[in-house]
């Protein structure tokens, strides 16, 4: 009989802790029953990439490292949005502010760090934030829509990343720094001045040697005043002045704490059974803030917890390789020229290159590179080995011997140590990539990314990965990577759809097998897209694969941060009745729903529903699903139109209800929202919807491609029609053309910009083609039923509902 699994509780859901668990699950997948408490309402994400979100290089979904499905697949109970406030070391239990508790045999503290906020008068005003998490990112994005002047306090790496993001968002940005030059912890003064000059060319302003005194304004910040009496206007102030290990929980539990939570070489704290890893941990007097050391700690900890023999963690020699606003920067060791050292420099202000190495006793003890960081890895390797470089000093500085040709990138990679980190975002070493190529058969960058995560985040290490592929792949190297719809294939959306049509492929497994998928099981990106494409192409024959749908779509409800669900029945056009309201109220009371809320789409949302109550709740409601969770028609928002309003020119309520009943249950590449306004005053906000209808005297304006989300986009005018039948026909033809031609997960706002309004008009302007498109959408709709009716009538599915284990899942 197998031994019962020990209970492992982890406080913190960040990069270091989850990486440790990933190692542990590979070494001992059945050893622990794992529970995670995460203070943020998000799955594990790459905090390093927040600056890329601000500058538009990635969206929030792209920086997720482990999506919601990963937790379910590994049977991990995640309390997202829960802050642990107490540890009872005698009862071996933890308690969250939100009311959850969990017993542990092993407790892992991965509480990370928190931003240091200057205790200035006025620091509590609206518009004063840190730059540490997704919410801070969202505030910056929201603020840039309304305000113009931003001030960043702190001229270190984090501050400059925040400043560059705000500059990209169109704000006027001033960086305030107490020191005489920027990034003094990573750069010497010469390199810093070169960086400042480049950032000023990009539009940043700098206020150096400035000490902040007070933040002024009434409710919202208006500006920042300095101790010298000067000030600067500010609608937003971002403090980026440093981080502190988050140790209060550990301290209150009686653990030994200095700057961080004190741990030994096996990451054990002063309390038996409690470990700490990441930015919160202090090892041999050092609390690390870089990702590579934290991943090294996690690897040792995982082996320890799995019972695998391992040496202890002995600390890390750190280096920093960064890209600051498009400029490559590298530093390692002592670059500040302490007594007893010698320094060699090379500076080229025309090409923007600066190099400095610091020597002591013929050994390399520090380096700074600016503009050209290609030698950084080899310099760092030499520094860690502590080898003598006597006679090679100039060669190391220049990258080649005097009178000789510069070393090639390949020779530099070959000389790099095996344990050198290639991908800093994901902590992937040269040896790991070499193993993926030589032992696991990876022959393209895409395959290496799928196997190791190298180049899967910021992409800055992609040239190094390509170089290692050439070195270790030899004749087995595949064609240069062609980006497909995911890492499982190099085929694009159009190529896949064309092959499905040509070969009449009829199920997901068949498509992946015939088209040569690298991963025979697919992934959370390609399985849902293939399921959609097959359903779109073969509406009368294809049987929807529930296992290829997102978790929310399979449960027909939106998962919330605490693991409960949100249920939204359909209310056509926002119009309901006393009997319908009474039914919803009775169901809410029966199932003890914590909150009933009106949504922005003129519906009622039942929040906090337990998963096991979902089937019975839908049966009791006996109402169609509002598809608030799906890539489908969500809502049709309406104003009262000429039914009641003195300005109304048409029956917008009737038109909205007709459109909603016409296209409900429609599966689409991404969520779709409609609106109908009864006059040009546009109270239903039809001009920021995917398909918007605005009534005018004697007809209707049809608008397409709007979006009211993070990236607001006003619609384009498609055409003007006279009758309600024409509205339905044009609307159906537009939606079907979108269904047949858009990428999976591509909103109409993005699609319209990509293909151009003129091409859409050309496809719809001929009545014969328009009617054909409308006919195809009707065929698709005629072969769908409300999804909840299927569950209500399927006893076996209802019986097993609690044990459904979804594969691909993200929040929609």
Q: What percent of the chain has pLDDT over 70?
A: 90
230: CB partners within 8 A, 6+ apart:
210
What's the CATH code, domain 6-113+245-306?
3.50.50.60
Q: Among candidates 622, 631, 613, 444, which has minimal Cα distance to 549?
A: 631
Q: Say if CB 489 and CB 517 are below 8 A apart.
A: yes
**Choice between 371 and 228, residue whose per-residue pLDDT is larger:** 228
pLDDT score for 88: 97
Find out whether 676 and 656 touch, Cβ atoms under 8 Å.
Answer: yes
**Assigned fold of 630-785:** Sulfite Reductase Hemoprotein; domain 1 (3.30.413)
474: CB partners within 8 A, 6+ apart: none
Sheet holding 699-704, edge to edge: 633-638, 672-677, 691-696, 699-704, 716-721
> Tokens at residue 524, please?
């959370």
- Cα–Cα distance, 566 to 585 (Å, whole number): 15
Mean pLDDT computed over 756-774: 94
Cβ atoms 693, 675 nearer than 8 A: yes
Q: How many CB atoms lie within 10 A of CB 540?
A: 8
280, 245 in Cβ contact below 8 A? yes
Identify the three-state secondary structure at position 403. coil
- Residue recorded with tokens 């509902």: 801
Q: Please state the residue numbers annotated as binding site.
A: 639, 645, 679, 683
C-alpha to C-alpha distance for 120 and 315, rounded to whole angstroms: 36
Mean of the per-residue pLDDT values of the chain: 86
DSSP codes of every residue in 84-146: EEEEETTTTEEEETTS-EEE-SEEEE---EEEPPP--TTTTSBTEEESSSHHHHHHHHHHHHH
CATH topology agreement for domains 6-113+245-306 and 421-476: no
3-state helix, strand, coil in the chain (%, to 5): 35, 25, 40
Percent of the chain at pLDDT > 90 equals: 49
Mean predicted confidence (pLDDT) in 303-332: 81
Q: Does domain 319-407 have CATH number 3.30.56.10?
A: no
Burial code of 521-538, b = ≥16 C-beta within 10 A, e = fewer?
ebbbbbbbbbbbbbbbbb
Judge whether residue 583 has pLDDT over 50: yes
* Structure confidence at residue 667 (pLDDT): 92
To which residue do tokens 């919202």 refer? 220
Tokens describing residue 256: 């030994």
Q: For 169, which DSSP code?
A: T
Least confident among 367-371, 430-434, 793-797: 793-797
Cβ-in-10-Å burial (0-12, 13-18, 19+) of 563 comes to: middle
The strand pair at 633-638 and 672-677 is best described as parallel
Ramachandran region, residue 322 (left: φ > 0; alpha: ψ -120 to 50; beta: rest): beta
Q: For the residues 707-728, what does the mean pLDDT come to?
A: 91
Cα 720 to Cα 650: distance, rounded to the nearest angstrom: 14
Residue 695 is classified by DSSP as E
Intra-chain end-to-end CA distance of the chain, in Å:
42
Contact 32, 307 (CB under 8 A): no
Read off the pLDDT band of 238 (50, 70, 90): very high
Cα separation, 466 vs 433, in Å, equals: 10
Q: What backbone phi and psi angles, to 5 degrees, belong to 268?
A: -85, 140
User: Per-domain residue ranges for the chain?
Assistant: 6-113+245-306, 128-241, 319-407, 421-476, 493-548, 630-785
Most confident of 461-475, 532-546, 732-746: 732-746
Cα–Cα distance between 487 and 496 in angstroms, integer?
14
The Cα 96–Cα 105 span in angstroms is 18
The pLDDT value recorded for residue 804 is 40
Tens of pLDDT along 603-626? 899 999 988 888 888 889 989 888
Backbone angles phi, psi at 64, to 5 degrees: -70, 125
Binding residues for siroheme: 683
Assigned token pair, 27? 């070494």
For tokens 């705000």, the residue is 166
At 20-77, the pLDDT tens digits run 999 999 999 999 999 999 999 999 988 877 877 776 656 667 788 888 889 988 999 9
The residue behind tokens 């905090």 is 47
Half-sphere exposure of 60 (CA within 13 A, CB side): 16
Residue 224 clears pLDDT 70, i.e. is over it: yes
Tokens of 734: 């537009």
Q: Which two tokens stand for residue 185?
A: 């912890």
Among residues 461, 404, 406, 409, which one has the least CA distance to residue 432?
461
| Cα gap 302→546, rounded to integer Å | 35
In sequence order, what are the residues at sequence separation of 6 or more whose Cβ sits closer than 8 angstroms to the Cβ of residue 748? 670, 672, 690, 691, 704, 705, 706, 707, 738, 742
> Does residue 806 have a pLDDT over 60?
no
3-state secondary structure 413-477: HHHCCCCCEEECCCCEEHHHHHHHHHCCCCCCHHHHHHHHCCCCCCCCCHHHHHHHHHHHHHHHC
Q: Is residue 291 within 8 Å of residue 48, measured between CB atoms?
A: yes
pLDDT at res. 322: 65
Binding-site entries for [4Fe-4S] cluster:
639, 645, 679, 683
Q: Where are the alpha helices (DSSP H) in 132-202?
A: 134-146, 157-168, 189-202
What is d(CA 559, CA 148) in angstroms, rounded to the nearest whole number?
36
Q: What is the CATH class of 128-241?
A: alpha beta
CB 243 within 8 A of CB 258: no
Give the pair of three-digit tokens for residue 773.
């498109």
pLDDT digits (tens, 9 = 90+) for 519-559: 777 877 788 889 999 999 999 988 888 777 766 777 788 77
Q: 311, exposed or middle or buried, with CB in 10 Å at 0-12, 13-18, 19+?
A: exposed
Question: Which token pair is 594?
Answer: 């914590």
The top-level CATH class assigned to 421-476 is: mainly alpha
What is the pLDDT at residue 84?
Answer: 97
φ/ψ (deg, to 5) at 4: -65, 145
Q: Distance between CA 704 and CA 675 in Å, rounded?
A: 11
Show the CA angle centred on residue 350, arms to residues 348 and 356, nearest 5°.
20
Whether pLDDT at 406 is above 60: no
Give pLDDT tens digits for 95-141. 999 999 999 999 999 999 999 899 999 999 999 999 988 889 889 98
| Structure confidence at residue 323 as a pLDDT band (50, 70, 90) | low
Encoding tokens for residue 9? 């509780």
Q: What is the pLDDT of residues 267-302, one digit of tens each?
A: 999 999 999 999 999 999 999 887 778 888 999 999
Any alpha helices (H) in 504-610, and if so which ranges?
508-514, 526-537, 551-555, 578-590
């Amino acid at each position: 009989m197998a031994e019962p699994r020990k209970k492992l509780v982890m406080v913190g859901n960040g990069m270091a802790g989850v990486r440790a668990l990933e190692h542990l699950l590979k070494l001992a997948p059945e050893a622990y029953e794992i529970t995670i408490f995460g203070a943020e309402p998000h799955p594990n994400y790459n905090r390093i990439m927040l600056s890329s979100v601000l500058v538009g290089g990635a969206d929030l979904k792209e920086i997720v490292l482990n999506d919601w499905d990963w937790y379910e697949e590994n049977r991990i109970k995640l309390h997202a949005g829960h802050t642990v406030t107490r540890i009872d070391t005698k009862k071996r239990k933890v308690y969250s502010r939100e009311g959850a508790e969990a017993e542990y045999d092993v407790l892992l503290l991965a509480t990370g760090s928190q931003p240091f906020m200057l205790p200035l008068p006025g620091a509590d005003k609206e518009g004063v934030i840190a730059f540490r998490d997704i919410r801070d990112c969202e505030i910056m994005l929201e603020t840039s829509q309304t305000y113009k002047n931003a001030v960043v306090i702190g001229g270190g790496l984090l501050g400059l990343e925040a400043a560059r993001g705000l500059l990209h968002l169109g704000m006027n940005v001033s960086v305030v720094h107490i020191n005489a030059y920027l990034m003094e912890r990573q750069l010497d003064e010469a390199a810093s001045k070169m960086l400042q000059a480049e950032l000023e060319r990009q539009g940043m302003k700098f206020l150096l040697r400035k000490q902040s005194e007070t933040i002024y304004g009434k409710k919202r910040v208006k500006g920042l005043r300095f101790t010298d009496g000067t000030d600067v206007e500010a609608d937003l102030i971002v403090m980026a002045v440093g981080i502190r290990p988050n140790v209060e929980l550990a301290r209150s539990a009686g653990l030994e704490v200095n700057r961080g939570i004190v741990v030994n070489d096996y990451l054990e704290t002063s309390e038996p059974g409690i470990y700490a890893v990441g930015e919160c941990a202090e090892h041999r007097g050092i609390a690390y803030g870089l990702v590579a050391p934290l991943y090294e700690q996690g690897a040792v900890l995982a082996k320890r917890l799995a019972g695998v023999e391992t040496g202890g963690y002995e600390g890390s020699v750190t280096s920093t390789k960064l890209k600051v606003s498009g400029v490559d920067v590298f530093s390692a060791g002592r670059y500040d020229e302490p007594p007893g050292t010698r320094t060699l420099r090379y500076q080229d202000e025309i090409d923007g290159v600066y190099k400095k190495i610091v020597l002591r006793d013929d050994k390399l003890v520090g380096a700074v590179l600016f503009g050209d960081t290609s030698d950084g890895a080899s310099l760092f390797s030499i520094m860690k080995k502590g080898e003598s470089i006597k006679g090679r000093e100039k060669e190391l500085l220049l990258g080649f011997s005097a009178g000789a040709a510069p070393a090639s990138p390949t020779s530099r990679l070959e000389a790099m140590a095996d344990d050198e980190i290639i991908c800093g975002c994901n902590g992937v070493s040269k040896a790991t990539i070499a193993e993926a190529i030589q032992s696991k058969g990876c022959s393209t960058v895409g395959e290496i990314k799928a196997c190791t995560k190298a180049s899967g985040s910021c992409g800055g290490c992609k040239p190094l990965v390509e170089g290692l592929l050439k070195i270790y792949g030899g004749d087995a190297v595949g064609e240069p990577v062609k980006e497909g719809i995911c890492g499982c294939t190099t085929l694009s959306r159009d190529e896949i759809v064309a092959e499905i049509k040509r070969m009449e492929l009829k199920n997901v497994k068949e498509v992946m097998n015939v088209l040569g998928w690298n991963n025979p099981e697919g992934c959370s990106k390609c399985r849902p897209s293939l399921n959609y494409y097959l359903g779109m192409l073969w509406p009368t024959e294809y049987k929807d694969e529930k296992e290829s749908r997102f978790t929310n779509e399979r449960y027909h409800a939106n998962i919330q941060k605490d693991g409960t669900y949100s249920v939204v029945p359909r209310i056509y056009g926002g119009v309901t009745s006393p009997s319908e309201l009474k039914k919803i109220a009775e169901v809410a009371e029966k199932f003890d729903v914590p909150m009933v809320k009106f949504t922005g789409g003129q519906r009622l949302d039942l929040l906090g529903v337990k998963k096991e109550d979902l089937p019975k709740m839908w049966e009791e409601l006996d109402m169609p699903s509002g598809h608030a969770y799906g890539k489908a028609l969500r809502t049709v928002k309406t104003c009262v139109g000429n039914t009641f309003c003195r300005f109304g020119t048409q029956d917008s309520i009737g038109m909205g209800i007709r459109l909603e009943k016409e296209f409900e249950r429609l599966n689409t590449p991404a969520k779709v929202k409609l609106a109908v306004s009864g006059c040009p005053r546009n109270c239903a906000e039809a001009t920021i919807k995917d398909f918007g209808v605005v009534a005018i005297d004697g007809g209707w304006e049809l608008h397409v491609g709007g979006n009211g989300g993070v990236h607001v986009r006003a619609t384009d005018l498609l055409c003007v029609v006279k009758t309600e039948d024409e509205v339905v026909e044009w609307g159906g033809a537009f939606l079907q053309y979108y269904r047949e031609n858009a990428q999976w997960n591509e909103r109409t706002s993005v699609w319209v910009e990509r293909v151009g309004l003129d091409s859409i008009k050309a496809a719809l302007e001929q009545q014969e083609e328009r009617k054909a498109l409308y006919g195809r959408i009707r065929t698709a709709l005629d072969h769908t039923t409300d999804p909840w009716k299927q569950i209500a009538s399927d006893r076996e599915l209802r019986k097993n509902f609690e044990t459904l284990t979804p594969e691909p899942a993200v929040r929609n």
